[in-house]
Amino acid sequence: MIEKNNYFCTNANCKMYGLRNQGNIVKAGTYGKGEKQKQILKCKVCNQRFSETKNTIFFNSNYSPTTIRQIIGCVAEGNGVRSTARILELDKNAVNNVILKAGNHCEIILADLLKSLYLEECQLDELWAFVRKKNSIRRRSGKGIRANLDMDSVRSK
């Protein structure tokens, strides 16, 4: 059973668009059969109907949520597209499409979540380690730190 409070109206013209826990979302039926059956939800304000998977990476997908989670899990562990396809016995293009769709979805969510952050402190350990290692390699090779930098990028700073 789905929790209606986790959903919001997907109609950008609705005054309740993007707002959760407002009591405006009701169940409006189902579609599909068996394990692929999905809940249809409806906004009481604008009467827009939408799938429970709308605005997720699972929407309009040919793969089950479990398979999509496995793909993302494999890639997150450092596997490449081809090795993930071999492990899960899927087509590499299908794996690539799921990864691209997940990446686009993450970009949209993070753009919304990371607005107007006022940070007093930020930790960049991994970035610093990368820069330090790259600089030490350049020093050993006899090249200066700016040896490989594009002059346009240096001037813009």
Q: Do 82 and 61 sit in the same domain of this protein?
A: yes
Provide the token pair at 154.
């240096």
pLDDT of the residue at 138: 59
Q: Do 115 and 63 sit in the same domain of this protein?
A: yes
Is the residue at 13 inside a domain? yes
Mean pLDDT for the chain overall: 77
Q: Do 115 and 69 sit in the same domain of this protein?
A: yes
Q: Do 96 and 107 sit in the same domain of this protein?
A: yes
Q: Do 23 and 62 sit in the same domain of this protein?
A: no
Q: Average pLDDT, stretch 116-136?
A: 64
H-run or E-run covering 120: none
Is the residue at 132 inside a domain? no
Question: What pTM did the predictor assign?
Answer: 0.58
Q: Do 63 and 49 sit in the same domain of this protein?
A: no
pLDDT at 71 over 50: yes
Q: Do 60 and 112 sit in the same domain of this protein?
A: yes
29: containing domain:
1-54
pLDDT of the residue at 149: 45
Angstrom distance (rounded) from CA 12 to CA 23? 18
| Last residue of one domain, picked from the residues 19, 35, 54 | 54
Q: How many separate domains does the chain show?
A: 2
pLDDT of the residue at 130: 55
Q: Which of 21, 18, 22 is nearest to 113 (CA)?
A: 18
**46 vs 134 pLDDT, higher one:** 46
pLDDT of the residue at 150: 47
pLDDT of the residue at 152: 47
- Among 27-41, 67-81, 129-143, the range scoring the smallest mean pLDDT is 129-143
Q: Average pLDDT, stretch 99-110?
A: 86
Q: Average pLDDT, stretch 102-112?
A: 84
